Amino acid sequence: MTTQNHTLRLLALTSIGTLLATGALAQDSSYTYGGIAVGQSHGKSDASGMAASQIRGSVPPLTVIGLNRDDTDNAYRVFLGYQFNRNVGLEASFFDLGRFNYHATTSPAGTLDGQTKIQGGGLDVVGALPISENWSLLGRIGGQFAKTRNVFSGSGATFVSDPSPSARQFNYKVGAGLQYAFGPNFLMRGEAEQYRTRDGIGGNDRVQVFSLSIVVPFGAGAATHPAMKTAVYEPVAYAAPAAPASKPVPVAEAAPMAPVVAAAPLAPLPAPLPAPRRVSFSAESLFGFDQSTIRPEGKTALDTFARDVAGTQFDLIVVEGHADRVGTEAYNQTLSLQRAEAVKTYLVSAGGLDGAKITATGVGETQPTQAGDCKATLPKAELRTCLQPDRRVDVGVTGTR
């Protein structure tokens, strides 16, 4: 096995293992998608062995003295898949790996021309590991059933023993690549794949394909990358100071008694602190799917909040991150804390608020608002929609004057 083949297999298998081990299954969505991949194929076949098999038994005996080969062609693949969640999908495909040609010269003088064509269908498990808001690493492993057709023709002293052998076999395929999401309904992939095949005379071959593909989710695909929604934002309200208490009326002097000294006026009562205010931002309005990086629409909502608070005196702002109950408790806790810290950092760096008066905490799935209403028996899409209010960031302001 060459170093290139070994690296390709190792990359694909490592990617799949990493993806299946990832706990990032919270707030997932499922959808159907389709697409087409176009690229270049490189065949790795035993052309000299096929040539020798065709001239074996010739009278007089023939020897191959020269061999020219063209192992590169165009390839395409059309596919239909189902994305179970952000990390794992199942994909069925039809592929055409192209045609590979070779030309052999023999002694006594003769020629042998051969062509190999490979078509088939496959079923792959496709894993995705997000590395940024738009980029994901891809890995795939699966099985494929391919039909290989060989065509041979000879001239001069060459006699072809079997002009059109063929083979059908189930075998494996692996691949790895990158995916970029231009939007919720349009993605592009760049991938390297390796197919294991069998030629018409019983030899084992390999075909490597390097391709670009377009992926189009159907219907619910937009849920994979939630569209930004307007933040659930309630402007902070401040109570007006209470009117000062009126001064007491001084006691008049009574004659002929000694004058009574007037009582000193009472100091006005301090204005009471307003009740703490809580502002709730939906997670989808601030962040990308399973991300803790604030999106542009989320920054706009936080800028509005920061302007309301910046001109006031406040004692404390508490930022709380919340998650729904889908996924592991540990993952939800980590994600909720990361999101709370991202909001705090933005309020300080972009909003100009005093970081010493802002705390950030993540409570994970421990404070749901929909726990009793969202039954676990609901279909996955309905359950995800029902639990949307649990995915949020709450900001509490206390001591504002």
**For the chain, what percent of residues have pLDDT higher than 70?**
76
277-398 has which fold? 60s Ribosomal Protein L30; Chain: A; (3.30.1330)
Is 3-224 in CATH node 3.40.50.720? no
Residue 13 has pLDDT above 90, yes or no: no
pLDDT digits (tens, 9 = 90+) for 352-377: 888 898 999 999 888 888 666 788 77
**Domain extents in the chain:** 3-224, 277-398
DSSP 3-state of 103: strand
Concatenated DSSP letters for 190-255? EEEEEEEEE-TTS-EEEEEEEEEEEEEEEGGGGGGSPPP------PPP-PPPPPPPPPPPPPPP-T
Find, among 71, 148, 63, 46, the residue nearest to 112 by Cα: 63
| Cα-based distances in Å from 314 to 15, 242, 274, 275, 340 | 49, 18, 11, 12, 19
Q: What is the pLDDT of residue 27?
A: 40
Check if the beta carbon of residue 201 is closer than 8 Å to that of residue 150. Answer: yes
| Lowest model confidence (mean pLDDT) among 164-178, 247-261, 378-392 | 247-261
Q: What is the pLDDT of residue 274?
A: 55
pLDDT digits (tens, 9 = 90+) for 287-338: 877 788 998 888 998 998 888 888 777 888 999 999 888 888 888 899 999 9
